[in-house]
Structure 1
Amino acid sequence: MRPLTETDIRASFVNCSKGEAKRIALPRDLADRPWPDLDFLGWRDPGALDRAYLVAPGGGDALVGVTLRIAAQQRGFLHRNMCSLCLTTHPGNGVSLMTGRRAGEAGRKGDSVGSYICSDLACSLYVRGLRTPDAGGPRETLSVDEKVERTRGKLDAFLARIL
């Protein structure tokens, strides 16, 4: 993914108003992100723990940004869940149900789409082996390139449901 600026990020959101996009708390470490290893930029709002944001390439130079709500959960450390994007298994609260309001009229009527996603939104790093979850999970025989392609496909499908 190419490095993104504040302007790029704020202009990308499709499921909130321009005013809401201006008020989103952006990550302060944009310059330090491992951009070549990211399939999307994802972060949680430090001031509102039930909110997260995701910005991904949308085709050509276009970007698709979505605001997400994180469902409240209390899971024990022995409980394991799998991310629906990168298929990484995490213990406890390492995976969260994240829902995004649909874009356009459907979203204004209250329709939303949800998916179980890594709570830290670091799917790109997990599939490349640059970060490992605290739990052992199933070992895959796919190459890194195949895992990246699968994750991108699942991300595109999730974003298409929001759009």
Structure 2
Amino acid sequence: MHAFTEKDIRASFVNASLRERNSLIVPDLAQVDWDGLDYFGWRDPKQPLAGFIVVPVDGEAVGILLRQTEQRTRTRAQCSWCEDVTLPNDVVLFGAKRAGKAGRNGDTVGTLLCEKFECSVNARRPMPPAYLGFDVMAARRRRIEALRAHAEGFARDIRDGA
């Protein structure tokens, strides 16, 4: 993933008002390992139920404002994006308004995601071989490709409002 500037990030949000975009607290981008990310996500400590993600779609940034549900799942859930079966971190349900008229009419989409957006780390973590001769590196590449496809599909769904 290529690096984004704060200006790029603020301008990328498709489902946030101008006031929401201007009030965003963007983390220190100099500390971000862009090469190890498939999407950029962060939480704002002042807004504990808010989450923010920026997904590259066709070379452009698509930013999405997420809201975590207050209710936790009763059982350990699996992230819909990284699909990590070892469940190394908490997974929560996030909802996002669609962009445009659909979002203004209350149309939302929900997804289960790693609470602190650890998907890129999870997809790259070496997994134990499933059987003798199992190609661990090929499986890792497939997990990364699947994560990118899930993130991009969600971003397109929110952006296009369909």
- TM tier, smaller: 0.7 to 0.9
What are the within-5 Å matches in structure 2 for residues 88-99 of structure 1?
Answer: 88-89=84-85, 90=87, 94-99=90-95
The Cα shift of 1:32 comes to: 1.1
Residues 16-57 of structure 1 show CA distances to partners (whole Å, capped at 9, x for unaligned) of: 122210111111x31111110101100111101000000011
Aligned length: 153
1:11 aligns with 2:11: yes
Q: What amino acid is aligned across from residue 30 of structure 1 in structure 2?
A: L
The Cα shift of 1:123 comes to: 0.4
1:87 aligns with 2:118: no
Q: Extract structure 1 runs of 4+ deviating beyond 4 A.
A: 139-142
CA contact (8 A) 2:72 2:92 kept: no
Aligned to 1:54: 53
Structure with more contact order per residue of length (Cα contacts < 8 Å, sep ≥ 6): 2
More helix by share: 2
Aligned to 1:70: 68
Q: What amino acid is aligned across from residue 16 of structure 1 in structure 2?
A: A
Return the index of the structure with the highest Cα Rg: 2
Aligned to 2:24: 24
Aligned to 1:113: 109
1:149 aligns with 2:138: no
Q: Give structure 2 stretches of 5+ with no counterpart.
A: none
Identity across matched positions, percent:
39
Report the Cα distance in structure 2 between the residues aligned to 1:73 and 1:119, rounded to whole angstroms.
Answer: 13
Q: Give structure 1 stretches of 5+ with no counterpart.
A: 133-138
